[in-house]
Amino acid sequence: MTPDLIVVGCGFYGATVAERAASELALSVLLIDRRDHIGGNAFSETDPETGIEIHRYGPHLFHTSNEAVWRYLQRFARFTGYRHTVYARHRGATYPMPINLDTMSRFFGKAMSPDEARQLISVQTAEPGIAASGNLEDKAISLVGRPLYEAFIRDYTWKQWQTDPRTLPESIITRLPLRFTFENRYFADTYEGLPESGYTQLFARMLDNPRIAIRLGVDYLALRHQFQPEVPVIYTGPIDRFFAGSQGWLRWRTVDFEKEIIDTEDYQGCAVMNFSDRDVRYTRSVEYRHLYPERRYVSKRTIVVREFPREAAPSDEPFYPVGATEDREIYSRYRALSAKHPNVLFGGRLGTYRYLDMHQAIASALKAFETVLKPWFQNGRTGPLKRGPEGGQS
């Protein structure tokens, strides 16, 4: 049977569009993913040896201040009260992140009031000539001062980009959060938490509709010729792959994950520990049992996953867009080309070549559904699905 709508990619963007189209418009949807599971990068699974739930593509912490997105997700899952905190290890000591009054007091070895800390930082950020050079190092020093930069940002950035921060553009860090309070919650959003039964279960609930047919382990690009060209497509794969790299390949960064099962119930006392110094090769370690403290896992062992970022090769998972000027130029050429495919809507982080948090991917998908898909289906399916490269959506 010919579907009314084809959705490529079963991450938050694709799943949201598929769910809306099937539930609200009663459309038959074919949802395709080249991976062998639903959930995209938010996929979670239970480790068979320990029973601990892990996130295969790195820890995914849900947070949003978008009321509509939060309400939408409540239909498919209850959320825990998890509040994310992060610590950083530097020269044998541990500090809360992002840098706050507690971090500064410990680092400078004296209790400080907010005004005293502000005063200290304003002296340290006032290095002559520092703000103007255009590189990441000088920009960071102009924001937090040299001592905090050298302790918590310089080597971490080296490891993230495998490059001297003095050769990186300042645009990578337009702002660095520096808090002059003891607030140590990592996110400042109104809503935060994790799906009680995990992300994969949340996706299963979203897609539990007889109108949605799911095909996993299938690359849409290998079989797109089989589909009628007039059937609209929501494409959330990499936009450069859609066009076979005709305008050049967009650069991404990826992460190698090294998983270790350790014979202790608690290895690091928190979910995420950053490692700020160069002599530790990984950027951070994630101990997954801390994401669900209320579950009381019975295993006497724990799982720690260490992260090693690097530039992505074509066969790697694309995680973070490099987004340098030349990448942005290539992307704008693909956007222009996409206007020649009026029935294909490019969405999600890979389709629009930008980093999106989960709540942003969902918000963008809800908007595309309301402003592009719904009117098109309700107005008799005539004319092009979208006007302009991305149908006017953001």
Ligand X SMILES: Cc1cc2nc3c(=O)[nH]c(=O)nc-3n(C[C@H](O)[C@H](O)[C@H](O)COP(=O)(O)OP(=O)(O)OC[C@H]3O[C@@H](n4cnc5c(N)ncnc54)[C@H](O)[C@@H]3O)c2cc1C
Q: Which residues lie near ligand X (CB under 6 A)?
A: 8-14, 32-35, 40-42, 57-61, 219-221, 236-237, 255, 319, 348-350, 356-359, 361
- Which token pair is 185? 């919650």
- Residue 116 phi/psi, 5-degree rounding, is -65, -40
215 is catalytic: no
Least distance from ligand X to the Cβ atom of residue 261, Å: 21
Q: Which of 20, 253, 289, 306 is catalytic?
A: 253
Give the pair of three-digit tokens for residue 270.
């928190």
Q: Which of 179, 251, 289, 349 is catalytic?
A: 179
Of residues 39 and 96, the one with the C-beta less far from ligand X? 39
The catalytic residue among 20, 284, 306, 349 is 284
Token pair listed for 389: 């490269």
| Nearest distance, CB of residue 355 and ligand X, angstroms | 7
Give least dist CB 360 to ligand X, A: 7
| Identified catalytic residue from 307, 327, 349, 390 | 307
Q: 13 or 156: whose CB is closer to ligand X?
A: 13
Tokens linked to 251: 């650069």
* Whether 253 is catalytic: yes
Candidates 45, 219, 316, 357; catalytic one: 357
Nearer Cβ to ligand X (149/242): 242
CB closer to ligand X, 51 vs 58: 58
User: Among this protein's residues, is 295 annotated catalytic?
Assistant: no
CB nearer ligand X, residue 57 or residue 243: 57
Q: In degrees rounded to 5, what are phi and psi of residue 112?
A: -130, 145
| Min separation Cβ 150 and ligand X, Å | 26
- Report which of 220, 205, 256 is spatially closest to residue 58, judged by C-alpha positions: 256
CB-based contact 276:160 (threshold 8 Å): no
| Pair of tokens at residue 354 | 């930008």
Q: Which lies closer to ligand X via its Cβ, residue 206 or residue 350?
A: 350
- C-beta of 119 vs 394, nearer to ligand X: 394
CB of 319 to ligand X, least distance (A): 4
From the CB of 80, what's the least distance to ligand X, in Å?
Answer: 14
31 near 220, Cβ under 8 Å? no
Q: Inter-axis angle of helices 12-25 and 199-206, to 10 degrees?
A: 30
SS (H, E, C) the chain: CCCCEEEECCCHHHHHHHHHHHHHHCCCEEEEECCCCCCHHHCEEECCCCCCEEECCCCCCEEECCHHHHHHHHCCCCECCCCCCEEEEECCEEEEECCCHHHHHHHHCCCCCHHHHHHHHHHHCCCCCCCCCCEHHHHHHHHHCHHHHHHHHHHHHHHHHCCCHHHCEHHHHCCCCCCCCCCCCCCCCCEEECECCCHHHHHHHHCCCCCEEEEECCCHHHHHHHCCCCCCEEECCCHHHHCCCCCCCCCEEEEEEEEEEECCCCCCCCCEEEECCCCCCCCEEEEHHHHCHHHCCCCCCEEEEEEEEEECCCCCCCCEECCCHHHHHHHHHHHHHHCCCCCEEECHHHHCCCCCCHHHHHHHHHHHHHHHHHHHHHCCCCCCCCCCCCCCCC
User: Cβ closer to ligand X: 135 or 254?
Assistant: 254
Q: Which of 36, 91, 175, 230 is catalytic?
A: 175
* Active site positions, annotated: 175, 179, 253, 284, 307, 355, 357
